[in-house]
Every structure is written in structure tokens, then in C-alpha cells.
Amino acid sequence: MVAVDPKALPSAKAVNHQFNVVIDGAETTIHEGVLRCNGGTLTVVSPGVLEVNRLQHVVVRGGGGGDVRFARCGFAAAEACGAVSFHRCDAVRVDGAGEVAVRRCRSADVERAGTVSIRRCKGAARVHGAGELRLGRCREADVGNCSDVALGRCREARADWCGSLGVQRCRSADVSRCSAVRVDRCGDANVSSCGSVMVRRGKVNMAEAHQPLQEWQEQPLCPKAEPADPVPMEIMSNTIFAFSLSTYTVYYYLCTA
């Protein structure tokens, strides 16, 4: 016989998944059933899971860590929710969420999230304060204070105060104060005040380094020629080079035989 303390047992009280919803300025609550308003619907498909469809202006808060799914809305926002997804909305905003997924929306603004995935934004995507971020095929990307970031196929990308950052196939990129940076096949990238930088096939302007270049062999390219005017370094081979930035801009000197 084993004595069990009743106070040590987990509470049988169910989590209150009640969502606070603001629709076109009018606030209401929903925890079950279907709510129809202004041609759109809010449906609780299961405890803690809310689906929002075809509303022009909607904000969802709380839900006891529940999940919210937005589809074909105008302005859609989620605050202090668990997992949030947006599909084919105009402008979306998230402030405090565990997971965020955005697909084919016009613009996105995300703050204080765990895992974030954004694909195919016609406008700007802004993410500040996230753990893992995967962002691709957006017109403009603005990223800050994220731990693990991968950016791909964006016209303009800006990143500041990030941990690990990968930038691939972007037309232009401005990167500053990141710990580890990987640049692959970018048209023009400016990197400053970062730790280590790895470059593959791209034009990269680097400044403000604190350590000498890594894996660099000091061999004259053309011993018998005078160095020409310096031009920004451009890497067109498949070889990956690792750099650590210094207080000056790194240049590649063109030499003639």
C-alpha cells in the first residue's frame, strides 16, 4: 500500500481556451461554436483551436495558449497565442506567439515569437525578437534580434543583432552586428561589425573587423606588377572563403602581368 498525497496530484481543472476577439472595433469572446459577422466567420473547430475566415479587420488575443488560423482576411492580428498561421491575408501582425506561419500575404510584422516561417510576401516582412526564422521570396525583409535566421530570394534584406544568419540569392543585403554570417549568390551585400563571415559567389563589402582574415595565404597575385585602383571584392567561384572583419574595408587588387 502506497500513500498518495492528494495535493500532489495534477489538477483536473481544464484550461480555459477563451479567445478575446475584436472585429471592426467591436470586442467579443468565443470559446465554442461558430460566430458569423460582416460576411466572415469565427469557428472553434476543437478546444483551443480557432479558425478565422474572410474578415476585414480582426484581432485575436489569448485563448489560453490556443492556436489560431487566419485565412483570406484583410488586417489580421494575433496577440499572446500559441501557434498562429496566416494564409492569403493582406496585412498580418503577431505580438507574442510560440509558432508563426505566414503564406502568400501582402505584408507581415512579427514580434516576440518562437519559430517563424514566412513565404511569398508581396510587400515587407518585419521580424524582431524570434528564435528560429525561415523567410523566403519576399520583396523586403527586416530582421532583428533573432537567434537562427535563413533568408532566401528577397529583393532587399536587412539584418541586425542576429546570431547565425544565412543569406542566399538576395539582390541586396545589409548585415550588421551578427555573430556568424553566410552569404551565397547575392548581388550586393554590405557586412559590418560581425564575427565570422563565409562567402560563396557574391559581391561583399566588409568593414569594421577585429581579427585578421582566416585561412588566407599571403601570396602576391602578380609579383612584378603594381597594384591598380582597389575595387570591391567579388567572388565568382564555388570555393567557400571564411572571413573575420577588420577596421578597414577588404579589397581585391587587380593586377596585370
Q: Are 110 and 128 in contact (CB under 8 A)?
A: yes
Range of the domain at 166: 106-203
The average confidence (pLDDT) of the chain is 82
In this prediction, residue 219 has a pLDDT band, given cuts at 50, 70 and 90, of very low
Residue 11 is assigned to a structural domain of this protein:
no
Is residue 185 a part of any domain in this protein?
A: yes
Do both 114 and 45 map to the same domain? no
Give the number of other CB atoms < 10 A from CB of residue 161.
15
Handedness of CA 170, 172, 101, 197 (dihedral sign): positive
Residues 60, 58: Cα–Cα separation, whole Å: 7
The tens digit of pLDDT for each residue in 55-95 reads: 999 999 988 889 999 999 999 999 999 999 999 999 999 99
Beta bridge partners of 139: none
The total domain count for the chain is 2
Q: Tell whether the torsion through CA atoms of 82, 83, 89 and 95 is positive or negative.
A: positive
Whether 114 and 195 share a structural domain = yes
DSSP reduced 3-state for 183 = strand
My answer on whether 77 and 121 are in the same domain is: no
- 162 within domain boundaries: yes
Same domain, 133 and 198: yes
Residue pointed to by grid coordinates 500575404: 105
What is the pLDDT averaged over residues 219-243? 43
Rounded Cα–Cα distance for residues 79 and 96 (Å): 6
Same domain for 74 and 112, yes or no, is no
Out of 158, 186, 203, a domain closes at: 203
